[in-house]
Amino acid sequence: MMNSNALTPGVSEKASLAYFERMLTIRKFEERVYQLRMTGKIIGSVHLCNGQEAVSVGACAARRSDDPVFATYRGHGWAIACGADLAGLFGELMGRAGGVNGGRGGSAYFSVPKVGFYGENSIVGAGVPIANGAALAAHFQRTGRVAISVFGDGAMNQGAVHEAFNFASAMRLPIVFICENNGFAELTPIAATVAQPELYRRAEGYGMPGKRIDGNDPFEVEAAVRTALERARNGEGPTLIEAMTQRIVGHYIGDPEAYRDDAERARLKEVEPIAVMRRRLQEAGCEAQIQAVEERVEATIQAALRKAQDMPPADISKVREHVYA
Amino acid sequence: MPEELSYIDAVNLALAHALEEDERVLIFGEDVAVPGGVFGATRGLKERFGARVFDTPISESAILGAALGAAIMGMRPVAEIMWVDFTLVALDQLVNQAANIRYVSEGRLYAPMTVRTQQGVLAGSCAQHSQSLEAFFAHVPGLIVGLPATVADAYHMLRQAIAADDPTLIIENRGLYRSIKGELDLASPHLGIGEARVVCVGSDVTLVTWGAMVHQADLAAQKLRGDVSVEVIDLRWISPWDHKTVLDSTQKTGRLLVAHEANLQGGFGAEVVSAVSAEMWSSLKAPPKRIGLPNLRIPAAPHLQAAVMPNAESIAQVARDLMGR
């Protein structure tokens, strides 16, 4: 049964499938990372972004390819949305020489500057002041770039983030602040740590626009980020976007998620963006296209992983290099 | 004829020349632009160089983060942190962020940023405005740390810091700003990063020091003339530091004394003594000695400060002790 109304109004089937594919690529990458972590092929702390894919995919659809992105330890999806090589990412997480940082960053602290991904950050909120610096550089270099700073709801309570919001707004820096509000500051509900849970309203206090959006709709994210980017590029300063989303996995692999029950976990799986988009595409009669996308994504992930598995381990003889110039 | 300048004039001149020669140089911090700096180090720069010199909010994390982000993106920021004590508010940006960038990215990213600050006890300075914290930073691989003691070094070390491709901390001493004057011959050869200077040649005791204490050490050597022959070494940079000059001198004298204003426990003097002891234990004629502040907080009343601060007299006494006199 064809029912085009099932798709987001004004969005073509082709665009929906394209965004579905981008989100699914991130999801399948993360699912494979989970397996690799559980079988000991990846060692160390891993924070997956399952459920939050619409934010990175939507924002990066609006991004100019040279707009620098500064993300968090939950950053695999952002790197992929920026265009990072999947084999290089797998290799990084597995400590391979061909990893994007030769295994020095690991899951939680890698960067891929050649695609404008200026890195994850393992200190909550710390990337926000750094992104301001990139905006400062864009201003003086007249490149027209706009920095994109991504952080979670928990980071909204870090002093450095407050400082950075004020600094950026006072100086009208070309930057867009995106808060991925997944409802949990690590293991604690954000509502338990703030008196005003509408985090976007803080923007007013800094003299910048603030907006809460549906972070499960990549098209809504794209539109909001596009508006904010344009505003910043026109010299009108920063915007705070609060994208409401959810992670459908633990804070880290191994998190027992004692803070939510099975019913809540099941509910999240109904509202998460890939499930929603898949349902809409199914209702629009795109079953065959969905299957084609799934096969293509699976093949892409498998090929990338094979390539990473063929990479030699990072070279111990180079472990002392690059401390200084 | 070379000009005669005060230490703070030399700092100001170095910044002016850097701004003049390199469009990428930015100068910012609290009160640095329109007010010209609380000590006047940046006086007149805003008027001459406009937007590249600007005042910031009182937000040390935002300041250092902005410097780091701008540096990553190709600028040459020089951020001022008014007192070294204030770096503690934003240590994350120096230690977890700036110092990691080059290493973790395998050299794909680097941070040519300079942080100017100042430290030390001055009569009446309170406990939160008088610490000597250089050892904190020397403990951090990836940072370059220098403490200029002379007018020429106030100029040249700052220029070298700005030209360096790694995050560099220049710790000035406000007690020297207007108390010392000297010639600045820009054409004469000068030492590089990590090179120490032999202040005066001697044969009995090697006296290693840095920062404002260089002048007390020099006075001590003068007092001891005819009694103990002291070779004073101004280390200038404590990371990286000049092992060779210190080892060569100690090889000659057989006795080592390290003087610093910082308190003794965990002070950088321990590092110097340790390195020398490990390298030339059997050549030492006496156990190495250190002099610094005892392990206490710093009182404000000038006579209480004077009772615990090392000075030329107390340094000379320890040198005599080393000689068994």
pLDDT in tens, A156-179: 999 999 999 999 999 999 999 999
Tell me if chain B has a CB within 8 Å of the CB of A132. yes
**Residues of chain B found within 8 Å of residue A105, distances taken between Cβ atoms:** 104-105
Residue B69 host element (H or E): helix B60-72
Residue A8 is predicted with a pLDDT of 75
Length of chain B: 325
Average pLDDT over residues B114-129: 96
DSSP notation for B80-139:
E-SSHHHHGGGHHIIIIIIHHHHHHTTTSS----EEEEEE---TT--TTS----HHHHHT
**Contact B92/A160, CB-based, under 8 Å?**
yes
pLDDT at A2 exceeding the cut of 80: no
**Of A104, A129, A323, Cβ closest to residue B61:** A129
Contact between B236 and B196 (Cβ < 8 Å): yes
The CA distance from A102 to B315, in Å, is 49
Tokens of A139: 């201003």
Nearest to B66 among A136, A141, A322 (CB): A136
Strands (E) in chain B, as ranges, are 3-6, 25-29, 53-55, 76-80, 114-119, 144-146, 168-173, 181-184, 197-200, 205-209, 230-234, 237-239, 256-263, 289-293
Using CB atoms, which residue from B59, B107, B110 is nearest to A163? B59
Strand (E) or helix (H) holding A176: strand A175-181
Helix-helix angle B7-21:B151-163, to 10 degrees: 30
The shortest C-alpha distance from A113 to chain B (Å) reads 7
* Cα→Cα distances A231→A69, A204, A227, A322, B36, Å: 17, 16, 6, 38, 33
User: What single letter denotes the amino acid at residue B85?
Assistant: D
Cross-chain Cβ contact A164/B65 below 8 Å: yes
| pLDDT reported for residue A136 | 98
Contact B56 A167 (CB under 8 A): yes
Of A59, A104, A63, give the one whose Cα is nearest residue A77: A59
Q: Do A134 and B69 touch (CB under 8 A)?
A: yes
For chain A positions 171-210, those within 8 Å of chain B (CB to CB) are 171
Whole-number Å distance between alpha carbons of B110 and A259: 40
pLDDT for A10: 76
**Chain A residue whose CA is closest to B63:** A129
Contact of A106 with A44, CB cutoff 8 Å = yes
- Vertex A70: Cα angle to A67 and A72 (nearest 5): 150
| Mean pLDDT taken over chain A | 96
Q: Residue B165: list chain A partners with CB under 8 A.
A: 325
pTM: 0.97
Say which of B17, B129, B156, B243 is annotated catalytic: B129
Q: Do B62 and A325 touch (CB under 8 A)?
A: no
Judge: B93–A119 Cβ closer than 8 Å, yes or no: no
> Is B129 a known active-site residue?
yes
- The whole-angstrom distance between A163's CA and the closest CA on chain B is 5
Nearest to A113 among B51, B93, B109 (CB): B109
| Residue of B104, B115, B139 to mutate when probing chain A, most A C-beta within 10 A | B104
CB atoms within 10 A of CB B231: 22
Q: How far is B38 from chain A (nearest CA, A)?
A: 20
pLDDT digits 0-9 by tens, B36-75: 999 999 999 999 999 999 999 999 999 999 999 999 999 9
Note whether B69 contacts A147, CB cutoff 8 Å. yes
Helix (H) or strand (E) holding B312: helix B312-322
**CB neighbourhood size of A325 (10 A):** 11
Euclidean distance between CA atoms B265 and B253, whole angstroms: 26
Closest residue by Cα to residue A186 from A72, A275, A109: A72
Q: What percent of chain B has pLDDT over 70?
A: 99
Inform me whether the C-beta atom of residue A84 falls under 8 Å from chain B C-beta atoms: no
A-interface mutation test, from B56, B59, B63, B76, most A Cβ less than 10 A away: B59
B116, B155 in Cβ contact below 8 A?
A: no
A166 with B108: Cβ contact below 8 A: no
pLDDT digits (tens, 9 = 90+) for B74-92: 999 999 999 999 999 999 9
Is the CB of B69 less than 8 angstroms away from the CB of A135?
A: yes
Q: Given A111, A132, A170, which is nearest B69 (Cβ)?
A: A132
Query: For residue A6, what pLDDT is reported?
Result: 66
Closest CA to B234 of B259, B256, B254, B252: B259
Enter the DSSP assignment of B200: E
For residue B31, count CB atoms less than 10 angstroms from its CB and return exposed for 0-12, middle for 13-18, buried for 19 or more. middle
Separation of alpha carbons A253 and A107, rounded Å: 11
A16-42: pLDDT as tens digits: 999 999 999 999 999 999 999 999 999
Q: Which of B312, B262, B266, B319 is closest to B292 using CA atoms?
A: B262
Q: Which of B140, B156, B141, B206 is nearest to B10 (CA)?
A: B156
